[in-house]
């Protein structure tokens, strides 16, 4: 007997703007590098430099996220002192 909780159709992934943009940029870059398009050599040089800068920016972003997570997970650096209560 078939399980009524299981769908016979495969689950489709939710739309992701990030994935859509990343795939678009990859396709655009592949198209540019596959065809010369009559563009000057200076364009190709700056395109390569821009790609390098994007990779560097991504690395900085990932390091920042990693460092923020490490700081959040680390125990507090300052220990609290005893509480002084005046009973008078």
Q: Which residues of 33-58 are buried (b: 16+ CB within 10 A; e: fewer)?
A: eeeeeeeeeeeeeeeeeeeeeeeeee
Q: In this predicted model, which residue has the larger pLDDT, 28 or 8?
A: 28
pTM as predicted: 0.45
38 φ, ψ to 5°? 70, 15
Q: How confident is the model over 14-56, as pLDDT tens digits?
A: 888 888 888 988 888 788 777 777 888 898 889 889 989 988 9
The pLDDT score that the predictor gives to residue 6 is: 53
Q: If you average pLDDT over every residue of the chain, what do you get?
A: 79
Average pLDDT over residues 3-15: 61
């Amino acid at each position: 007997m078939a399980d009524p909780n299981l769908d016979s159709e495969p689950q489709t992934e939710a739309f992701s703007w990030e994935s859509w943009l990343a795939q678009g940029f990859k396709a655009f870059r592949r198209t540019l590098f596959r065809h010369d398009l009559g563009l000057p050599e200076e364009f190709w040089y700056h395109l390569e430099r821009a790609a390098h800068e994007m990779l560097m920016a991504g690395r900085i972003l990932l390091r920042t996220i990693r460092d923020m997570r490490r700081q959040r997970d680390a125990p507090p650096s300052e220990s609290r002192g005893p509480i002084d209560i005046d009973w008078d």
